[in-house]
Structure 1
Amino acid sequence: MEPWEMREWFQEFLDTLNRHDGAGLRGLLAPDVRRAHLPAGAEAWLSDYSDLLHGFPDWQWRRIQVLVEEDRLAVHLRGGGAHTGVFHGIPPTRRRVSIASFAMYRVANGRIVEASETDDADAIRAALI
């Protein structure tokens, strides 16, 4: 993909996340996607995202910056939502949470095949306690 195509692809990925479209997200992930320090596979990624949305049904991502180099994306995002559902055993607090996320993705054939991200459940839990 050309850099402009990669940027358009990433916008589609971000829009899919913000629509909370699990089926659409599945189509943007390689079935065996590798994630640094997290269980591999699209199903594990979708399960983690489902857990996030259960605790934060209005969660949204906002792009701060995207850098493209060949088949890789470096992204800085801001994510946030209101804690109105149970999240990792923590009952709803109604607090708004906002976190910074930095990620590196490698994309092949229009799907993420490798990911390394800083947005994790521990950062979100820390914001609730």
Structure 2
Amino acid sequence: MLEMYRSYLAACNERAWDTIAEFLHPSVLVNGIPRTREQYVDDIRKTIAVFPDYAWQLRHVVQQPPWLAVHLHATGTRHQDFLGAPGDLSPVETDEFAMYRIADGRIAELWGTADNARLRLSTHNETR
């Protein structure tokens, strides 16, 4: 499961849209909402439209088949307006937490959340 997920994440970071789709069931339950694999990939494309260099880095994993829980750290540059923040080329970063149910070697279900509020802040101006 972990190797499959690492390959999926690499495909996301490489913008390999067709390859990403291969890691998905034809229908994926995303936070309780059925999505086609095309809709799922389009959701990733929407993120990339705002943050063209968005990259996910795997930080932590817990496996309990058929579930895989991950902590991802993401970085990028905001090129378009996002949640009221201007597309001013600000570098941003956030953390995402997700649980994936893997069935037949493909993602069948995803429950996740990201700290999108942090994507409104520049990492240069953020107070920690």
Higher helix share: 1
Residue 104 of structure 2 corresponds to: 109
> Is residue 75 of structure 2 the alignment partner of residue 80 of structure 1?
yes
> Is residue 44 of structure 2 the alignment partner of residue 52 of structure 1?
no
Distance 1:12 1:103 in 2: 16
* Aligned-partner residue type, residue 39 of structure 2: A
Q: Shift of the alpha carbon at 1:113?
A: 0.4
Q: Shift of the alpha carbon at 1:37?
A: 5.0
Q: Shift of the alpha carbon at 1:85?
A: 3.6
Return the TM-score normalized by structure 1.
0.83
Return the TM-score normalized by structure 2.
0.83
Distance 2:73 2:118 in 1: 16
2:116 pairs with one of 109, 124, 129: 124
Query: 1:21-58: per-residue Cα shift (whole Å, max 9, x none)?
Result: 11110000111100115552212211111111111111
> Is residue 33 of structure 2 the alignment partner of residue 27 of structure 1?
no
Specify whether residues 39 and 87 from structure 1 end up closer, same or farther in structure 2 by C-alpha distance, changes over 3 A only. Answer: farther
- The DSSP-based 3-state class of the residue aligned with 1:40 is strand
Identity of aligned residues (%): 30
Which ranges in structure 1 are unaligned for 5 or more consecutive residues?
1-5
RMSD: 2.0
Q: Would you say the 8 A contact 1:80–1:99 is kept in 2?
A: yes
Higher strand share: 2
Residue-pair matches, total: 121
Large movers: runs of 4+ above 6 Å: none
